[in-house]
Amino acid sequence: MTVTATIDEELRPLLEAFDLSPDAVVVTDRRNRIVLWNKASERLLGYTAREVVGYTCGGVLLGLDQWGNRYCSDPCPVVQIATRGDSIRRFELQMTAKNKRLLHVEVTILNVTGPQQRQMLLTHIIRPVEKHAELAMPPAAVNPRAVGVTTADTRARKLTPRELEVLTMLASGLTCAQIAERLVIAGLTARNHIQNVLEKLEVHSKAEAVAFAYRHGLLS
């Protein structure tokens, strides 16, 4: 088992158990550095522990969301949620293996804290899936007819599925920070999605964007 030397001794037995897991397990620290990469991870992703331990998780896994947007980033949205003490919902990603093969996986996060609260470790349990599951929809759901954006207005047809989802959340009254948390993305990424919506709809505020959406039947 290859781990960094900075791990609390109380946590090492737990890491040893993860190392023997038949599931791919990647453990990262508060700085998003990989501290454990088990044998199953080597089989799934092709990298050996010696090649990746000590490097950032995002730089190795190159995770993308189901629309192809970069998910793994610095600062990591998962670390931000865990630092607040909130639980992290299961999510799905596209990862790139060492041989450049694209993998569709589901990720379950277990937040492990040392006995003296000195160290936080995030255990990523990674399992391959055949395809992405649909994301849970916010209270105001996207109109099914709007997924393909069949309105005659050319501005609305420019919106991507992700931007429609963000627009729906704006209509539900969610803030940028809440949208980022709901989608498990960085705050900067959420702001970029909102700005793209405003530019594509040629409006100047979130309120105008929501009004546009209701007027053109983009929301149910």
Neighbouring-strand partners of residue 37: 26
Amino acid at 132: H
Residues 204 and 122 in one domain: no
For residue 159 the two structure tokens come to 């919106």
For residue 111 the two structure tokens come to 């937040």
Q: What is the pLDDT of residues 12-41, one digit of tens each?
A: 677 777 888 889 999 888 788 888 899 999
Q: What are phi and psi of 6, to 5 degrees?
A: -95, 5
Neighbours of 86 (CB within 10 A): 11
Mean pLDDT of the chain, nearest integer: 78
Q: What is the pLDDT of residues 55-99, one digit of tens each?
A: 888 888 888 776 677 777 776 777 777 777 777 778 888 888 889
Residues 114 and 175 in one domain: no
0.75 exceeded by pTM: no
Q: What is the pLDDT of residue 4?
A: 52
Q: What is the pLDDT of residues 102-133, one digit of tens each?
A: 888 888 888 877 665 567 788 899 998 865 44
Q: In the predicted model, is pLDDT for residue 171 greater than 50?
A: yes
Average pLDDT over every residue of 140-148: 43
Residues 39 and 118 in one domain: yes
User: Rounded CA gap, 87 and 84, in Å?
Assistant: 9
Token pair 């099914």 is found at: 144
> Is residue 133 a part of any domain in this protein?
no
Residues 117 and 15 in one domain: yes
Residues 6+ apart with CB under 8 A from 148: none
Where residue 46 falls among pLDDT bands split at 50, 70, 90? Answer: very high
Q: In the predicted model, is pLDDT for residue 159 greater than 60?
A: yes
Q: Which domain CATH number covers 154?
A: 1.10.10.10
> Is residue 106 a part of any domain in this protein?
yes
Residues 104 and 156 in one domain: no
> Is residue 193 a part of any domain in this protein?
yes
> Is residue 4 a part of any domain in this protein?
no
Helix pair angle (176-183, 187-201), 10° resolution: 110
Residues 154 and 124 in one domain: no
Q: What is the residue range of 91's domain?
A: 9-128
The number of distinct structural domains making up the chain is 2
> Is residue 26 a part of any domain in this protein?
yes
User: Rounded CA gap, 29 and 206, in Å?
Assistant: 37
Residues 6+ apart with CB under 8 A from 219: 140, 141, 142, 143, 146, 167, 168, 171, 210, 213
Q: What is the pLDDT of residue 197?
A: 92
